[in-house]
Structure 1
């Protein structure tokens, strides 16, 4: 347990950051799930639109430090290949 004022403040800040990051991660997962569902349905137009919406969210996750840029690059590459193969 934090005892010093500085440690207590850091604990409060960590809790706030955790909540914000958790919300961002959840939002990113939602966009990815929409793409996955469109791919599973076999609708290339909807999947491409969902992927186009998901890309800025993923990039925002990189800039905010939620995800590593190579992780996002890998996810985008694999998703776009799967969407392309639907056609």
Structure 2
């Protein structure tokens, strides 16, 4: 049986590649707050994985660093999921 990819929420600032599709997060974040995708692959300059949903929703209102992609997954991300994320800087809070 094939495992389905984890669904993640994304917001932040700067360009990313999600599942081999290029996207600018600024427009999504300012217009809609976040966008959800199955996590097959994610490339960004900087990624912060946020474990708490309330923190996820409030972070971009408090901090606006350039080229930061914030990621939230309802069931968390395991090591296999994290291997699908490629970034110069990867943080977890």
Q: Which has the higher strand share?
A: 2
Q: Which has the higher contact order (CA 8 A, sep 6+)?
A: 2
TM-score by length of 1: 0.29
Q: Which has the higher helix share?
A: 1
